[in-house]
């Protein structure tokens, strides 16, 4: 197993739009929370998805997702999304993510999201930017 890079925790609150009529988070919305945490990681490390697409026609794409649910999050809960990244090749990473209730540290959901970096013209994998690869050297 490769070493993992720990990202900063990402905080978010559950709003009405995230829930069903009982005030419980709809299961698919956890994917949005995980995506926001991954996007924030890129932003914090000056890895603009817009620049990658605009200047190099390169994209970060999700290859696979595996989620397990343990407890529901509810309206007005504050959530912590914890993320660790494992570089599996120079063009692919796995994000190990968990969603916890900030108030009581209850594990709500956890997942593994595999992300690849591709050339948008060919659809083929290409090497991540050096800035991202250098994070795993520290």
Express each pLDDT in 27-79 by its tens digit.
999 999 999 999 999 999 988 888 888 888 889 999 999 999 999 999 999 99
State the Cα angle at 119 between 115 and 125, rounded to 5°.
50
- Report the mean per-residue pLDDT for the chain: 93
> pLDDT > 70: what percent of the chain?
99
Return the bridge partners of 64, or none: 114
Q: Which domains does the chain have, with CATH numbers?
A: 4-135 (3.10.129.10)
Tell whether the model's pLDDT for residue 14 goes beyond 90. Answer: yes
Report how far residue 24's alpha carbon sits from residue 16's, in angstroms, rounded to the nearest whole number: 9
- Active-site amino acid positions: 20
Q: Is-above-0.85 flag for pTM?
A: yes
What pLDDT is recorded for position 60? 93
Report how far residue 57's alpha carbon sits from residue 93's, in angstroms, rounded to the nearest whole number: 19
Tell whether the model's pLDDT for residue 12 goes beyond 80. Answer: yes
Query: How many of the other CB atoms lie within 10 Å of CB of 18?
Result: 22
């Amino acid at each position: 197993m490769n070493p993992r890079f720990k990202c900063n925790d990402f905080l978010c609150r559950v709003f009405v739009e995230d829930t069903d009529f009982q005030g419980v988070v709809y299961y698919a919305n956890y994917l949005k929370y995980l995506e926001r945490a991954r996007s924030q990681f890129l932003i914090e490390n000056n890895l603009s998805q817009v620049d990658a697409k605009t200047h190099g026609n390169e994209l970060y794409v999700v290859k696979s997702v595996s989620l397990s649910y343990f407890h529901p999050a509810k309206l007005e809960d504050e959530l912590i999304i914890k993320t660790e990244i494992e570089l599996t090749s120079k063009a692919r990473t796995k994000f190990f993510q968990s969603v916890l209730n900030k108030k009581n540290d209850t594990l709500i959901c956890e997942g593994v999201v595999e992300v690849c970096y591709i050339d948008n013209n060919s659809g083929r994998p290409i090497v991540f930017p050096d800035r991202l690869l250098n994070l795993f050297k520290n």
